[in-house]
Chain A
């Protein structure tokens, strides 16, 4: 497999998984109601930067 093809496959997967997660969070309606009772927005505004605090990495050659 050429490097270009592999790269684009990995990028697609990257977008897919996270995008699905974000869409799913938007569907949690009961949680949204409970959050709103305590004055929180839902899904919680959660800076992506939070994930950067760790050093997780995933490398596929």
Chain B
């Protein structure tokens, strides 16, 4: 699903929802209005930003749900209440006995919305959107707008972010006159804990009276910690006149879902969006994580072995990062950092009257590694590589079994790896002692260095360095203490690219509020229950990932086959020693819907029909070594062949952001009218140019050069159609001038799209050739790089470890090729169609396993089944003398694609061959969701372009034995009765759609879409 807004400033999600047709129960004009509102609120938030925000699909949906709610709340409240009551009645009637019933809505329930969003998914952004949305719908301005936060650090952060989104904000001051303080619409920020202190202290009471009236309250993590109960009392005191938005990443922790739990009932009626960690992680955001916990009763040797495993994991990450630096660059991964977090605020604490220090435990371990007495490190590394660490899981297998594959692949011995560890992690040529250097210029910092090394490899960052040094002095381990009067702060340099610090050890206090993309390995020591919530925060920050194109996603979520070793760097390893909280932590993750069970990976090789490959099937592919973006520099120029249409008539409202703030202007109706040349002087061309540069950047058109002087020429001489009101082309006021600006920008954006596409197509005609399909084609060789033996494409299946029966059944099935390929059985849902070039053809049906590449979705499977049925019926009749072959076409990077900018990879390639000819048909059984008019629907019109392309490719391809034709069809997932209403001029019948190669998956009477595909030529 594409995110963001198209050249006409309609979101792609809007098109998607519209394409769902009659099942969407909102009026089309309401959906349009909500979309326009979200666009304008986002524009307001982006006005002051150098890097504009693009809404992720779930952020857009959350904003849309808030729009629906607020529109009804402010404009049709009684109707909404009645609707919700009736909805609850219907739901309750459908529940099975024993299932908790939903409570009826009462009017005061409507005064609160709550949003459940994972850490890192953009809660703050939603808060800002909700602010603008509320302001838009509220007829009266709010008397007070309050934002409560869990702590001061977050208050400061909120204030900064409010400013960035153009929202006035200030700190709340209990001592000032609360009413109107700071002006209207100003968000006043206060920590919820402060309210608690004031109440309990009996000093200055919370001036609830200051909040009488029409208030708007935003609550960030209101139920967390001790603030929860206080907040509830406080909110009740605010009365019924206010409106509250609450945001939390962890509603799963706060709500019990028990049958009679009033809190759950309350939030059940308030939560308007759920994008909890399960969805966030499931969508591919954030790092993977691997958590290993050693229980309390562990012996010292076991602890050291776990720490050594920790060291080796970190070394593996660092080594990959350094060895594969060039290949890693697009993935935006930072240099790995290994952090240790201790339980107490101070480095030294007392336990059973004995002074203890977790920090010292780690320092001793590092010292032991550097000393390598009796070669214990080398022996330990050997054991770890062999998966014989002696640390076992509950089922008896070694916790490191199968790990460190990239290290084993180097062929280096354990002693060679140790030598490399010294160099890469410790910056040392040889072992020795650990040197602890008090960095005088920076309080609380102790640098860690190996004997004879020039650079610090690590940093201890604690409060009480003096006491800790005393402990080290009295310790017999032999750690050397020094002073450093020259170096500056290592902590401040941690996030710099050239930082040589690989290890950070600190008490948890110093980790709070600290952010770094670098954390890749985390060691937890003696973390007890009460520290749990802070560790969860650390976890939340540790799993953040910048990702390719700053997508925040793991590479596996972006590409079908990213380099396999990237996974190592996109995984947060957590090693815990005596961390008794971990069981609760696991429960915490599960309450947010996260599966914590390790999946088992199975490889399933495909069987390729080699007889079919001997039939000389061809595919159009680019000549090797050619890439449009690298080979062709394009200068944007006037080209009458590029046709553009912009329709401003349907938009209800447009917004201009400028020095005077947001200005809205109504647009009604419109006719086709060009922009008079004399009106072009009213356009701010510099702004248009900047908008287009940003558009070009966003679309990744790096080989396109835009000169500012060509832009007015394109409008004067270009081939565009503008449907708009007179006010747009002949503005009479400042607000109307903004409409003209909008129209010009839209025309030029679309012009750029069309211009770029035409140039690319021209270039492709010169560089595409027919290649004979063989087993090395990327559509057949998927995941081959992961398989050590054999040359077949391979599915990677992931199955939950506890599904032992299923794993057994699939392993058995794997060994029975005939059954695997020719039967359709339940343990592994698949389709058997013997004209597909490989088997099995997996289906995306099971909730117990996942496959890469993923199985066929329902619409794709339907097409294959229909084709199979038709083939079996007609092969000796209408298809006599013809042969038919099918191949699933994979997506970007593997499959055959068109329109690189928008990435169109039809799902199937179908070959129909006879003695003289070979006809290739590209089939896309997905959507007709975005397009409104056929003439501008590039995917649907692909079939028009293909004959010319086929001719050009044939001229350059050698030794073609048959005439080759290319064709394409779209199979609309949107039913005809919905699609025809908004597609093109709204009059198309099914025949007309078929003429334009748009089909509906129906096979009845006269209409059989498979027959149309196979009989077209």
Is B a genuine binding partner of A?
Answer: yes
B810 CB → nearest A CB, Å: 14
B88: Cβ under 8 A from any A Cβ: yes
- Nearest A residue to B587 via CB reads A17
Interface residue from B271, B593, B798 paired with A21 (Cβ < 8 Å): B593
Q: Are A3 and B274 in contact (CB under 8 A)?
A: no
Interface residue from B84, B392, B557 paired with A30 (Cβ < 8 Å): B84
Complex formed: what's the CA distance from A23 to B759 in Å?
55
Complex formed: what's the CA distance from A20 to B87 in Å?
24
Complex formed: what's the CA distance from A27 to B95 in Å?
12
A20 CB contacts on chain B under 8 angstroms: 252, 256-257, 590-591
- Nearest A residue to B256 via CB reads A20
B91: Cβ under 8 A from any A Cβ: yes
B850 CB → nearest A CB, Å: 4
B51 CB contacts on chain A under 8 angstroms: none
Q: Are A56 and B595 in contact (CB under 8 A)?
A: yes
Q: Known: A6-B394, A34-B65, A56-B289. Is A48-B848 also a contact (CB below 8 A)?
A: yes
B798 CB contacts on chain A under 8 angstroms: 49, 52-53, 55
Complex formed: what's the CA distance from A27 to B259 in Å?
10
Q: Are B68 and A37 in contact (CB under 8 A)?
A: yes
A48 CB contacts on chain B under 8 angstroms: 595, 800, 847-848
A39 CB contacts on chain B under 8 angstroms: 20, 23-25
Within 8 A of B (CB), among A1-58: 3, 6-7, 9-10, 13-14, 16-18, 20-34, 36-39, 43, 46-58
Determine chain B's interface SS by DSSP, over half rule: mixed
Complex formed: what's the CA distance from A58 to B593 in Å?
14
Q: Are B17 and A38 in contact (CB under 8 A)?
A: yes
B986: Cβ under 8 A from any A Cβ: no
A60 CB contacts on chain B under 8 angstroms: 293, 295, 394, 582-583, 586
Q: Known: A13-B583, A31-B272, A37-B25. Is A54-B281 also a contact (CB below 8 A)?
A: yes
- Nearest B residue to A57 via CB reads B598
Q: Are A59 and B591 in contact (CB under 8 A)?
A: no
Q: Are A51 and B24 in contact (CB under 8 A)?
A: no
Q: Which of A6, A13, A50 has the most CB atoms of chain B within a 10 A radius of its CB? A: A50
B284: Cβ under 8 A from any A Cβ: yes
B571 CB contacts on chain A under 8 angstroms: 55
A53 CB contacts on chain B under 8 angstroms: 282, 284, 556-557, 798, 850, 852
B110 CB → nearest A CB, Å: 9
Q: Are B24 and A38 in contact (CB under 8 A)?
A: yes
Q: Which of B136-144, B178-186, B261-269, B342-350 contacts A (4 or more CB under 8 A)?
A: B261-269
- Nearest B residue to A7 via CB reads B394
Q: Are B554 and A54 in contact (CB under 8 A)?
A: yes
Q: Are B24 and A36 in contact (CB under 8 A)?
A: no
A3 CB contacts on chain B under 8 angstroms: 394, 396
Interface residue from A21, A27, A32 paired with B265 (Cβ < 8 Å): A27
Q: Known: A18-B595, A51-B595. Is A56-B281 also a contact (CB below 8 A)?
A: yes
Q: Which of A18, A22, A47 has the most CB atoms of chain B within a 10 A radius of its CB? A: A18
Q: Are A59 and B399 in contact (CB under 8 A)?
A: yes
Complex formed: what's the CA distance from A53 to B251 in Å?
24
Q: Known: A27-B100, A28-B268, A39-B25. Is A52-B800 also a contact (CB below 8 A)?
A: yes
Q: Which of A14, A27, A54 has the most CB atoms of chain B within a 10 A radius of its CB? A: A54
B598 CB contacts on chain A under 8 angstroms: 56-59
B271 CB contacts on chain A under 8 angstroms: 28, 30-31
B255 CB contacts on chain A under 8 angstroms: 24, 27
B290 CB contacts on chain A under 8 angstroms: 55-57, 59
Q: Are A37 and B288 in contact (CB under 8 A)?
A: no
B567: Cβ under 8 A from any A Cβ: yes
Within 8 A of A (CB), among B233-267: 251-252, 255-257, 264-265
- Nearest B residue to A42 via CB reads B274
How many pairs, one residue from A and one from B, have CB atoms within 8 Å of each other in the complex? Answer: 197
B57: Cβ under 8 A from any A Cβ: no
Q: Are A16 and B84 in contact (CB under 8 A)?
A: no
B509 CB contacts on chain A under 8 angstroms: none
Q: Are A52 and B595 in contact (CB under 8 A)?
A: yes
B273: Cβ under 8 A from any A Cβ: yes
Q: Are B599 and A16 in contact (CB under 8 A)?
A: no
Q: Are A55 and B257 in contact (CB under 8 A)?
A: no
B851 CB → nearest A CB, Å: 9
Q: Known: A51-B595, A56-B595. Is A16-B268 also a contact (CB below 8 A)?
A: no
- Nearest A residue to B294 via CB reads A61
Complex formed: what's the CA distance from A42 to B290 in Å?
31
A25 CB contacts on chain B under 8 angstroms: 274, 593
B597: Cβ under 8 A from any A Cβ: yes
Complex formed: what's the CA distance from A15 to B845 in Å?
23
Q: Known: A21-B591, A24-B252, A28-B271. Is A52-B264 also a contact (CB below 8 A)?
A: no
Q: Are B274 and A38 in contact (CB under 8 A)?
A: no
A13 CB contacts on chain B under 8 angstroms: 583, 586-587, 590
Q: Are B278 and A21 in contact (CB under 8 A)?
A: yes
A55 CB → nearest B CB, Å: 5
Complex formed: what's the CA distance from A57 to B393 in Å?
12
Within 8 A of A (CB), among B597-613: 597-599
Q: Are B268 and A56 in contact (CB under 8 A)?
A: no
A47 CB contacts on chain B under 8 angstroms: 846-847
Q: Are A34 and B69 in contact (CB under 8 A)?
A: yes
Complex formed: what's the CA distance from A17 to B264 in Å?
16
B292 CB contacts on chain A under 8 angstroms: 59, 61
- Nearest A residue to B543 via CB reads A56
B272 CB contacts on chain A under 8 angstroms: 30-31, 34
Q: Are B586 and A61 in contact (CB under 8 A)?
A: no
B391: Cβ under 8 A from any A Cβ: yes
Interface residue from B257, B273, B281 paired with A51 (Cβ < 8 Å): B281
B552: Cβ under 8 A from any A Cβ: no
Complex formed: what's the CA distance from A54 to B24 in Å?
32
Q: Which of A16, A23, A32, A53 has the most CB atoms of chain B within a 10 A radius of its CB? A: A53
B102: Cβ under 8 A from any A Cβ: yes
Q: Known: A13-B587, A53-B284. Is A61-B26 also a contact (CB below 8 A)?
A: no
Q: Convert B277-316 into 0s and 1s, putting 1 for each residue whose CB lies closer than 8 angstroms to a CB of A.
A: 0110110100011111111001000000000000000000
Q: Are A52 and B599 in contact (CB under 8 A)?
A: yes
A39 CB → nearest B CB, Å: 3
B599 CB contacts on chain A under 8 angstroms: 52, 55, 57
B592 CB contacts on chain A under 8 angstroms: 21
Interface residue from B391, B557, B850 paired with A49 (Cβ < 8 Å): B850
Complex formed: what's the CA distance from A17 to B276 in Å?
14
Q: Are B25 and A29 in contact (CB under 8 A)?
A: no
B642: Cβ under 8 A from any A Cβ: no
B295 CB contacts on chain A under 8 angstroms: 60-61
Q: Are A29 and B102 in contact (CB under 8 A)?
A: yes
A16 CB contacts on chain B under 8 angstroms: 587, 590
Within 8 A of A (CB), among B539-588: 554, 556-557, 567, 571, 582-583, 586-588
Interface residue from B26, B394, B800 paired with A37 (Cβ < 8 Å): B26
Q: Are A58 and B586 in contact (CB under 8 A)?
A: yes
B7 CB contacts on chain A under 8 angstroms: none
B940 CB contacts on chain A under 8 angstroms: none
B849: Cβ under 8 A from any A Cβ: yes
- Nearest B residue to A10 via CB reads B394
Interface residue from A14, A22, A33, A51 paired with B87 (Cβ < 8 Å): A33
Top-5 shortest CB links A-B: A17-B590, A39-B23, A57-B598, A58-B596, A50-B282
Residue contacts A-B, CB under 8 angstroms, 7 given: A21-B592, A28-B271, A38-B17, A49-B847, A51-B281, A53-B850, A54-B282
- The chain A residues found within 8 Å of chain B, CB to CB, are 3, 6-7, 9-10, 13-14, 16-18, 20-34, 36-39, 43, 46-61
Given contacts A7-B394, A58-B586, A59-B293, 9 further A-B contacts (CB under 8 A): A9-B583, A16-B587, A21-B591, A27-B264, A29-B269, A52-B799, A53-B850, A58-B597, A60-B583
